[in-house]
Structure 1
Amino acid sequence: MATWNSRGLRGSGLEEFINRTNEIYLEKKLALIQKIPTPITPVKIDKEHRHITLAYFDQQSTVDYIGAVQGIPVCFDAKECNARTFPLQNIHAHQIEFMDGLEEQGGVSFILIYYTQMEKVYYMPFREILKFWKRREEGGRKSIAFDELGEGWFMEITRGCFVPYLDGIAKDLESRP
């Protein structure tokens, strides 16, 4: 059983940007994307400040976000990385299975990775995730080097809070065989 504490807030900066982006996309009727909460069981509660200080995850979650874009099912996860390598241990087998299942149903699955030191967001299509995942399973490298990433999949966080992932989805769909 996984434990949540202050380290569990890693990635919250990117998630705030994505949540704001989702609000903008909803207002413009471009997409309906929902943040999927991770079910937890509180263990310690700071009653004075009314917040949870320690909890256990009840079950494995699927991905961070699920929804539809112009009638296309979409799911994705948001990750932050403070180094030039992204550890594949940050992606879980059940997430790969879920994203693969959504892709088989004609949907679009991806991961947004925010490289905090370089202030760059990378849209990683599922087929690229799968390539690195299979390499690891076959005994290869257990992380993704920044230099291995495709140049055309980086995006800028604009106006301080907007993550234009619809551009990534459009490119993802156009580049499919």
Structure 2
Amino acid sequence: MGTWNSRGLRGSTLEDLINRTNEQYEELGLALIQKIPTPITPVQMDKEHRHITLAYFDKISTVDYIGAVQGIPICFDAKECSADTFPLQNVHEHQISFMEKYEKQGGISFLIIYYTTKDVLYYMRFEEIKKFWERAMHGGRKSFRFDELDSQYIIQQKNRAFIPYLNYVQKDLDTRD
């Protein structure tokens, strides 16, 4: 089980924290969010046939998480960044397309980005990632800098084992029409 420490999150700990947060939200009756597994086909197993040692992806995946918060559909992806500059190649075109279609259907799409060297979590609204994506598609930077982000969406944590992203979903909703 992953924990926070002075050196920040390690390995799949971001995903572990999100999964535990989602369990808490479900227990409290606030949301039902599911981790979407990436479909794979095993090619090679170990001698005991307990572990997959080689596999390939069946198809491109969409986002890491999908569900509903008080009747509002949400989807999001979790990303890590080890520098102050986030390369847009870490978000794939099919993910942008899926999130855009999800938004058009009345859902909320976003990213949770963990800046490992800063030990900072950020809620990135779809509107914001789309702005950076379009800038890159029109010949601009193929990344965005930490100092370009909206500081009101830096996730403030009270409990280091819980990511209160629903507060930011509400803030996101409040800024929409």
Structure 1 residue 143: Cα displacement: 0.7
> Which amino acid in structure 1 is aligned with residue 87 of structure 2?
P
Return the alpha-carbon distance in structure 2 between the equivalents of residues 11 and 110 of structure 1. 21
Match of 1:115 in 2: 115
Structure 2 alignment gaps of length 5 or more? 1-9
Q: Deviations over 1:98-133 (max 9, x none)?
A: 111111111100000001111111000000010000
**Within the alignment, does 1:146 sit opposite 2:146 as a pair?**
yes
Structure 1 alignment gaps of length 5 or more? 1-9
Return the alpha-carbon distance in structure 2 between the equivalents of residues 170 and 14 of structure 1. 21
Match of 2:94 in 1: 94
Structure 1 residue 51: Cα displacement: 1.7
Match of 2:31 in 1: 31
Structure 1 residue 161: Cα displacement: 2.0
Return the alpha-carbon distance in structure 1 between the equivalents of residues 156 and 54 of structure 2. 34
* Pair 1:145–1:49, CA change in 2 (3 A): farther
Match of 1:7 in 2: none
Structure 1 residue 157: Cα displacement: 4.5
> Which amino acid in structure 2 is aligned with residue 162 of structure 1?
F
The 5-angstrom pairing of residues 6-17 of structure 1 reads 12-17=12-17
Determine helix, strand or coil for the equivalent of 1:54: strand
Contact 1:11 1:80 in 2 (8 A): no
Return the alpha-carbon distance in structure 1 between the equivalents of residues 157 and 120 of structure 2. 8
Match of 1:54 in 2: 54
Return the alpha-carbon distance in structure 2 between the equivalents of residues 14 and 88 of structure 1. 19
Return the alpha-carbon distance in structure 2 between the equivalents of residues 103 and 11 of structure 1. 30
* Pair 1:57–1:157, CA change in 2 (3 A): farther
Equivalenced residue count is 168
Return the alpha-carbon distance in structure 2 between the equivalents of residues 47 and 133 of structure 1. 45
Match of 1:3 in 2: none
Structure 1 residue 43: Cα displacement: 2.5
Return the alpha-carbon distance in structure 2 between the equivalents of residues 167 and 110 of structure 1. 13
- Structure 1 vs Structure 2 CA RMSD: 1.5
Q: Deviations over 1:3-28 (max 9, x none)?
A: xxxxxxx8622111000000000000
Contact 1:40 1:56 in 2 (8 A): yes
Q: Quick check: 42-51 or 10-19, which moved more? A: 42-51
Match of 2:43 in 1: 43
Structure 1 residue 158: Cα displacement: 4.3
Moved over 3 A (4+): none
Determine helix, strand or coil for the equivalent of 1:155: coil
Normalised TM-score (structure 1): 0.90
Normalised TM-score (structure 2): 0.90
Match of 1:63 in 2: 63
Match of 2:4 in 1: none
**Identical counterparts, % of pairs:** 65
* Pair 1:19–1:156, CA change in 2 (3 A): same
